Amino acid sequence: MEMKHEHKPCEEKTGDTLYRIGMFAAMNHITVKTLRFYEEQGLLMPALIHPETGYRYYTLSQMAVLHQITALKLAGFTLEEIAHINAGADEEAVLLKKKSELLAKISDLTRQIAVVDGYLSKKKTGLSAPVLIKTIPAATVAFMRIRLESYDGLFDRMPEMGALMEKAGCERALPEYCFTAYPEAGYKDADILVDICESVVAAKRETGDLRFKTLPEIQAACVFHRGSYRTFAESYATVLRYIEENGYEIAGDIRESYIDGVWNKDDESQWLSEIQVPVRKKAE
């Protein structure tokens, strides 16, 4: 028996297909509550709201808007920022601004991780605290430049500088900042050029070998060293490794700041110093 099929011509579409809110939510793997919230915030309005039932309807073309909202949220944009973009703001400018903010956050998180790593490793290195990048304020210092046969002679020369400062009428700044700086790069066992420095309230007339200079504010990789100066090498190795591993380079004279030492502590294990290495980020 011959079967006859009646074929109806395809109906011409007069508009986009409308999907109830529940169907549209399921199609996009979100909740109805989320869609209603986006509507309240003016981010995604229904294509149609039935005047009698209040049912919400959406079209397939609105999936692109929903996709943009989801992507921007994943990129860290607030709903207010997304609404600003949807309202016609320069999208490229807004995205570049957000990228800059995110890169700054990455930089902050990288520094935080470095501090955590420092605390995790400090027991291995014997340090009292991890390496930290910090700002050393500008300072006016009295200084005396000398050459030493060995590091053992350093503290023998400090009383000489104290006498010259007293003769010049120097007033020590608070908080006290006494340190040595090494103008010549590299480690030397002998013939060591050293600036013995101490922060003062104001420069005075040069007296004997005593001079004055103003040091600018710097960023420095700093680490505290507790104990004898004979073990400085271990702390230096730690701070120099930190500089290399975190994309910095040395950008000035290394300083050794003396907090507690032979002048006020009889026990070497209680001596406290801070190694300060001026740094800057390496050019990428």
Residue 269 has pLDDT above 90, yes or no: no
The pLDDT value recorded for residue 58 is 94
Residue intervals in the chain for CATH 1.10.1660.10:
19-89
Which residues face 255 on adjacent strands?
Answer: 181, 276
Distances (CA, A) of 217 to 108, 135, 172, 237: 21, 7, 19, 24
Averaged pLDDT for residues 201-215: 95
Question: In the 8-state DSSP scheme, what is residue 200?
Answer: B
| Topology of domain 19-89, CATH | Multidrug-efflux Transporter Regulator; Chain: A; Domain 2 (1.10.1660)
**Residue matched to tokens 């600018």:** 216
Yes or no: say if 279 and 133 are a contact pair by the CB < 8 Å rule. Answer: yes
Averaged pLDDT for residues 48-69: 90
The CATH architecture of the domain made up of 132-281 is Alpha-Beta Barrel (3.20)
The pLDDT value recorded for residue 121 is 59
Question: Which residues, in sequence order, are CB contacts of 247 under 8 Å at separation 6+?
Answer: 281, 282
pLDDT category at 10 given cuts 50, 70, 90 is very low
Dist CA 255 CA 251 (whole Å): 12
Residue intervals in the chain for CATH 3.20.80.10:
132-281
Q: Which amino acid, one-letter code, is at 49? A: I
Dist CA 22 CA 241 (whole Å): 58
**Residue matched to tokens 């007339």:** 205
Dist CA 149 CA 190 (whole Å): 5
Dist CA 62 CA 155 (whole Å): 77
Three-state SS at 257: strand
Residue 101 has pLDDT above 50, yes or no: yes
**Residue matched to tokens 């973009």:** 85
Q: Which residue has the higher pLDDT, 4 or 120?
A: 120
Q: Which residue has the higher pLDDT, 64 or 137?
A: 137
Question: In the 8-state DSSP scheme, what is residue 148?
Answer: E
Question: Which residues, in sequence order, are CB contacts of 155 under 8 Å at separation 6+?
Answer: 261, 262
Tokens encoding 172: 């020590």
Predicted TM-score (pTM) of this structure: 0.58
* pLDDT cut 70: percent of the chain above it: 88
**Which residue, 18, 27, 17, 20, is CA-closest to 66?**
27
